[in-house]
Amino acid sequence: VNPKTLGSKRIAETLPELRSIKLILAYDGTAYVGWQRQRSGPSLQAALERSLARITGEKTHAVASGRTDAGVHALGQVVSFHTQSRLSPEIFQKALNSDLPRDMAVVSAEEAPPGFHAIRHAVRKRYRYVIHDGSNPDVFGRNYAWHYRSRLNAELMHQAARGWLGTHDFRSFESHWPQRRTSVRTIFDVSAVRRPPPDEDRIDFEVQADGFLYNMVRTMVGTLVEVGRGYRPVEWPAEVVAAQLRKAAGMKAPAHGLFLVNVDYE
Amino acid sequence: VNPKTLGSKRIAETLPELRSIKLILAYDGTAYVGWQRQRSGPSLQAALERSLARITGEKTHAVASGRTDAGVHALGQVVSFHTQSRLSPEIFQKALNSDLPRDMAVVSAEEAPPGFHAIRHAVRKRYRYVIHDGSNPDVFGRNYAWHYRSRLNAELMHQAARGWLGTHDFRSFESHWPQRRTSVRTIFDVSAVRRPPPDEDRIDFEVQADGFLYNMVRTMVGTLVEVGRGYRPVEWPAEVVAAQLRKAAGMKAPAHGLFLVNVDYE
C-alpha cells in the first residue's frame, strides 16, 4: 500500500491497524523552498518524511495544516501522518529530534483523534510577522524579521489593523495564485505591538483568523507599514478591504519575517 | 605604502594625514573560520577589509581587540583601522552596513583617540556564554546557544563561579596554544543566571576580566556544567584553579554559545 495514493480517511478505513500521530513542529524556513515537496530544492515535508522513513522503515506521507512558503518559519505547525509503528508519541518526538536537521524540531507529539485531518479540521490559525525598525542591521535576527530602515508608528499600525476585525472579503490581500472558492475570511484577533526594552526595535504584528488567502499576511504587513511610516491615514487599510482589488493594497512584505504561530482544531 | 607591513604606531608617525577610526562590530560567527584571515575559509577580518577597500579605495588593515574562533559571535567587538579617507564615522557606519555581509554589522563608529590600539589598550573584556537546557531543540537559537540536554542547576553554577573572582593563575582553563607569558588573570565579575520566562530554558554565564587565556571561557563553562548537573560539588571549580593543570578542568564547551559582549579601554 502506498499511502500517497490514498486519502487519509480511506487509509483509516481499509487499514484499521494504522495509527495517526499529530506533531507540533517548529522550523526555521530559511534553507527551504517551503513546506511542500518540490523539485526546485529542499522542502520541510521531504526532510520530515525522510526522518520518519529512517525511524519507522515505512514510506510515510506527512500532512501539514497548510503550506508555508520559502523562508517562512513556524513555531507551531501541525502535521499528521499514519504509521503501522508501535512507537509511543514520546519516542517519536525524541527520535525525530535526534534525526531531523537542526533547523527543524518537534515541540510535541500525540496520538491524533480518530479521523483527524490537519488541513480539513483546522478552525483557526495565528500568524506573527516581525518587523525590525532599528537603524543598525540585527545580525542574529536577520532571517527572522523584516528590517525596515525607518522608524514606524506601531500605535497607528495597531489602530489601522483593528479595522480588519470581523468577517470581510479580503481579496485585496490575495495574490492571484491559487484561486480559492471564496475570499471571505473572519479575523478573530489582530494587533501590532512594539516590544518593551531591550527589544524596542521590534514590532510584532499578529493576526488570528479562520483561514488565510495566499500571501494575505505579508500583504497586510506591506499595507500597514504605509500607515506606520505616515504615508497613508489610519483609515486607509479598511478602505483597501472595501476596494476588493489587489492593486489597492501595499507591497508584499518579505517572507522571512513571517511565523506560523499555532493552529486550533475543533 | 602597504599598511600591513608597518605597525600602526609607525604609520601614524610617518603619515600624519592618516586618521584612525574605531568601530564597534556585531557579528554572527557561524559562517566564518574566526576573526583572523586564514587560508582555510572566510574570515570576518577579510570580509571587513574587503568592504573597507570598496568604500575607501585603499588597502586597509583592520585590528580587532582579540581574535574570536570559528563559530564564536560578537555583540561588541572593537576594531580599528587607518585611512586617508575624509568620510565621517557616521558615513563609514552607514556605508559599511550597506556593504557588509548580512551576518556582520557596525553598531557604532567614531574617531579613535590618538595612538589608539584595539589590542594593546584593552583593559577589560566581557564574554557571555549561553546554555539552552530545554528538552526540545531550539531551531532559531541553534547557532547561538549550546544545547545541553539535561536540566542544570543555575544557582549552584553561579555559586561555584563566584569562587573564581579575583586574581588567580587560570592555566587549568588554558588550551596549550598559544602560550602566553603569564596565565595570571583578574576576574572582576562573573555570574550564571537563568533567564526569566518565557526564556527560562536559557542560562547566561557572563565573565569580565582583564584578559582571557585561549579557550578559557569555554573551558570554564564545561567545568561549571559538571556542578550544574550534580556530578561535582560546588567547591570543585575553585579546586580546578588551584590544581593548575588543564586536565583537572571539565570539557571545552562548543564555540557557538560564546559571545564577546564588550571591551573597555582606559
Question: At residue A74, does pLDDT exceed 50?
Answer: yes
Are B22 and B116 in contact by the 8 Å Cβ rule? The answer is yes
CB atoms within 10 A of CB A32: 26
Tens digits of residue pLDDT in A215-259: 999 999 999 999 999 999 999 999 999 999 889 999 999 999 999
Q: Do A137 and B28 touch (CB under 8 A)?
A: no
- Concatenated DSSP letters for A220-260? HHHHHHHHHTTSS-TTHHHHHHHHT-GGGS-PPPPGGGEEE
- Concatenated DSSP letters for A185-227? EEEEEEEEEEPPTTSTTEEEEEEEES---TTHHHHHHHHHHHH
Q: A104 at the B interface (CB within 8 A)? A: yes
Describe chain A by its helix, strand, coil percentages, rounded to 5: 30, 30, 40
**Cis before A254 (ω within 30):** no
Chain A residues touching B138 at Cβ < 8 A:
105
Question: At residue B217, does pLDDT exceed 50?
Answer: yes
Tens digits of residue pLDDT in B15-32: 557 899 999 999 999 999
Residue where the block lists cell 525524541: A94
Q: Rounded CA gap, A82 and B92, in Å?
A: 57
Among left, alpha and beta (phi > 0; psi -120 to 50; other), residue A71 is left
Residue A31 three-state SS: helix
Tens digits of residue pLDDT in B162-178: 999 999 999 999 987 55
Q: B144 at the A interface (CB within 8 A)? A: yes
pLDDT of residue B151: 97
Q: Do A139 and B97 touch (CB under 8 A)?
A: no
Question: At residue A82, does pLDDT exceed 70?
Answer: yes
Q: B196 at the A interface (CB within 8 A)? A: no
B103, B138, B142 ranked by CB distance to A142: nearest: B103
% of residues, chain B, pLDDT over 90: 86
φ/ψ of A131, rounded to 5, equals: -110, 130
> What ipTM score was computed for the predicted complex, to two decimals?
0.85
% of residues, chain A, pLDDT over 90: 86
CA A167 from chain centre, in angstroms, equals 20
- Classify residue B230 by its DSSP letter: T
Q: B106 at the A interface (CB within 8 A)? A: yes
pLDDT, mean over chain B: 92
Q: A142 at the B interface (CB within 8 A)? A: yes
Are B151 and B134 in contact by the 8 Å Cβ rule? The answer is no
Q: B47 at the A interface (CB within 8 A)? A: no
Query: Is A99 one of the annotated active-site residues of the chain?
Result: no
C-alpha distance from A104 to closest chain B C-alpha (Å): 6
**Average pLDDT of the segment spanning A3-29:** 72
Q: Rounded CA gap, A106 and A76, in Å?
A: 9
Chain A residues touching B259 at Cβ < 8 A:
none
Are A183 and A214 in contact by the 8 Å Cβ rule? The answer is no
Looking at A69, A103, A169, A210, which residue is catalytic? A69
Q: Do B140 and A28 touch (CB under 8 A)?
A: yes
B27, B139, B142 ranked by CB distance to A139: nearest: B27
pLDDT of residue B17: 72
Nearest CA in chain B to A103: B139
Q: Rounded CA gap, A231 and A85, in Å?
A: 57
Nearest CA in chain B to A76: B139
Cα torsion angle, A150, A155, A156, A162, sign? positive
Q: How many CB pairs under 8 A join A and B?
A: 46
pLDDT band at A179 (very low <50, low <70, confident <90, very high): low
pLDDT of residue B1: 43
pTM given for the model: 0.88
pLDDT, mean over chain A: 92
C-alpha distance from A44 to closest chain B C-alpha (Å): 13
Tens digits of residue pLDDT in A115-162: 899 999 999 999 999 999 999 999 999 999 999 999 999 999 999 999
Question: At residue A4, does pLDDT exceed 60?
Answer: no
